């Protein structure tokens, strides 16, 4: 039979099999021998054991895509969730999440939580930064329910990975979207305005028969990416319109004269926030190459 892994903990995999329910499985030795570790989101072939509710995973079927951090597979889109206050968004970190998703070819939806207590000017600023990049921006409140119906529409018929730093309300949003699994919610540290980690494993949660949310452990930093610095510009979608206007090719868009990206920046067509983040990440990649 075939099913889909919805959770993995300490070597046990919980596989949802249509019309059968959930089986607790172990991976057969051939998978370990081939150094193939099943991931949450994997479609697998399995066999049921005589003991009720138990099974063995025999084979992992071909993956459409795979994320390393968090380690999940077969995702249709990513919800990158940040809060607009308590804590305020770290736009540099947000861009790193977006780059990671762009590298995997995943469509991204930006979800900003806690909008019921946010300053209206900040919401407008966020839209000015990210709307020109081609990302859909949805403002929600897990407390009041604001924007949740719009978010539900975007999730229909898809497997959506939820990502973002801890403390932004990911678990609260998931609890709003479904009532089958109650996700533990955390507090915000008053001292550093960061959240305590609540999710400790990746889990695929059924919203309805066609839609899943993949909740993933919170994390607050991303290292330099596995690509060359010359590739970085391609993970900033808004650069594409102005790249051909650069006098020099290749152009790093950092120091060269008559640069189309810098001209667009001066004309307000590219966000200063996004450009400064690009410069910082580009420099990190440049420094890393030296060692």
Q: How far apart are CA 106 and CA 103, in angstroms?
A: 8
Output the pLDDT for position 47: 95
Does residue 291 register a pLDDT over 70?
A: no
Q: How far apart are CA 100 and CA 123, in angstroms?
A: 24
- Output the CA angle 74-78-79, nearest 5 degrees: 145
* pLDDT tens, residue by residue, 184-197: 544 444 443 444 44
* pLDDT tens, residue by residue, 21-76: 899 999 998 888 888 899 999 999 999 998 999 999 999 999 988 877 678 899 99
Backbone phi, psi, residue 233, to 5°? -60, -25
Q: 290: buried, middle or exposed (CB in 10 Å: 19+, 13-18, 0-12)?
A: exposed
Residue 104 has a CB neighbour count (10 Å cut-off) of 15
Q: How far apart are CA 55 and CA 48, in angstroms?
A: 4
For the chain, domains (ranges, CATH) are: 2-62 (2.40.50.140), 67-215 (3.40.50.300), 229-289 (1.10.40.50)
- Output the CA angle 247-252-257, nearest 5 degrees: 40
* pLDDT tens, residue by residue, 143-167: 999 999 999 999 998 999 888 888 8
């Amino acid at each position: 039979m075939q099913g889909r892994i919805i959770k993995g903990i300490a070597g046990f995999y919980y596989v949802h099999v249509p019309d059968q329910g959930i089986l607790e499985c172990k991976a057969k030795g051939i998978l370990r021998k081939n150094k193939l570790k099943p991931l949450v989101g994997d479609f697998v072939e399995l066999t049921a054991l005589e003991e009720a509710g138990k099974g063995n995973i025999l084979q992992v079927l071909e993956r459409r895509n795979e994320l390393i951090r968090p380690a999940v597979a077969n995702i249709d889109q990513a919800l990158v969730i940040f809060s607009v206050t308590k804590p305020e968004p770290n736009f540099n970190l947000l861009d790193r999440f977006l780059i990671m998703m762009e590298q995997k070819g995943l469509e991204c939806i930006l979800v900003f939580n806690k909008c019921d207590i946010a300053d209206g000017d900040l919401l407008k600023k966020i839209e000015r930064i990210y709307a020109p990049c081609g990302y859909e921006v949805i403002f929600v409140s897990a407390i009041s329910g604001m924007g949740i119906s719009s978010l539900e529409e975007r999730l229909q018929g898809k497997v959506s990975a939820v990502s973002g730093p801890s403390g932004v309300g990911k678990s609260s949003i998931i609890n709003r979207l479904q009532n089958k699994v109650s996700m533990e919610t955390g507090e915000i540290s008053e001292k550093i305005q960061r959240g305590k980690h609540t999710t400790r494993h990746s889990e695929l949660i059924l919203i309805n028969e066609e839609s899943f949310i993949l909740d993933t452990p919170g994390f607050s930093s991303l290292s330099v990416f596995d690509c060359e610095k010359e590739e970085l510009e391609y993970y900033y979608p808004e650069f594409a319109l102005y790249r051909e206007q650069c006098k020099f090719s290749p152009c790093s868009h950092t120091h060269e004269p008559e640069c189309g990206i810098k001209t667009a920046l001066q004309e307000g067509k590219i966000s200063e926030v996004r450009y400064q983040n690009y410069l910082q990440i580009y420099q990190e990649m440049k420094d890393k190459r030296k060692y």
